[in-house]
Amino acid sequence: MSKEVTYDTTDQVDVIKGHPAEEVVSASANDQTGTAGACVSEELKNANLANSENADILEKYAADYPVGPHDKPQSMCPAFGSLRVGLRMRRVATVLSGSACCVYGLSFVSHFYGARRSVGYVPFDSESLVTGKLFEDIRDSVHDLADPDQYDAIVVTNLCVPTASGVPLRLLPNEINGVRIIGIDVPGFGVPTHAEAKDILAGAMLNFARQEVEAGP
């Protein structure tokens, strides 16, 4: 009998499992570093790049773009913290508003860590962003998603671009068909770590619960 503690049935799904790949043959019989076919250090990667056909271009890039903290990120987007928590809660839907590449990375990593729920996404372009159409699209998507038979709450998260552009999630209705709507802003440029992102989501949900208690039945 398994000792794993579960809170819902999200783990009871069919998962496609891969097959073990053939052992990677070392590039050199004298290679004792164990880096063949694996991630390597920056020094080794730079040495390989120097021998590539694009060496001249890469040298120009190195001269034009100084190495800084942006070249050595310590972790991925902090919004992963709040996203992962939201995906683990029962009867809670998650919707992201941000650049497509950001949403792809967040959803990929969240599922890599075991989340088996869909991540909602509201796409946008420059026109919908500056005209306010993005907010209308978010509002419409929340209305479409608010099914009380499936969800108790919907968490809508603004990533960097919508947050910087001032997309006002606070103007979303607090409740639709009995489903609570919680909007949070989690920009990478303002939230330093995953822990702070979790605090933002927890604080928003606690504030919502406090308002419900104060309002009474």
Q: Which band of pLDDT confidence, cut at 50, 70 and 90, is reported for residue 1? A: low
Give the pLDDT score at 103.
92
Highest mean pLDDT: which range of 18-27, 32-41, 102-111, 131-140: 131-140
Distance CA 154, CA 102 (A): 20
Give the pLDDT score at 77.
86
pLDDT tens string 50-91: 555 556 656 766 676 566 555 555 568 889 999 999 998 889
* Cα Rg of the chain (Å, integer): 22
Q: Is the pLDDT of residue 176 over 50?
A: yes
| Structural class in CATH, domain 79-215 | alpha beta
Distance CA 180, CA 86 (A): 14
- The rounded mean pLDDT for the chain is 78
Q: Which band of pLDDT confidence, cut at 50, 70 and 90, is reported for residue 184? A: very high
Where along the chain do its domains lie?
A: 42-71, 79-215
pTM over 0.85: no
Distance CA 64, CA 66 (A): 6
pLDDT tens string 156-172: 999 988 888 888 999 99
Give the pLDDT score at 192.
79
Give the pLDDT score at 117.
82
Higher pLDDT, 9 or 44: 9
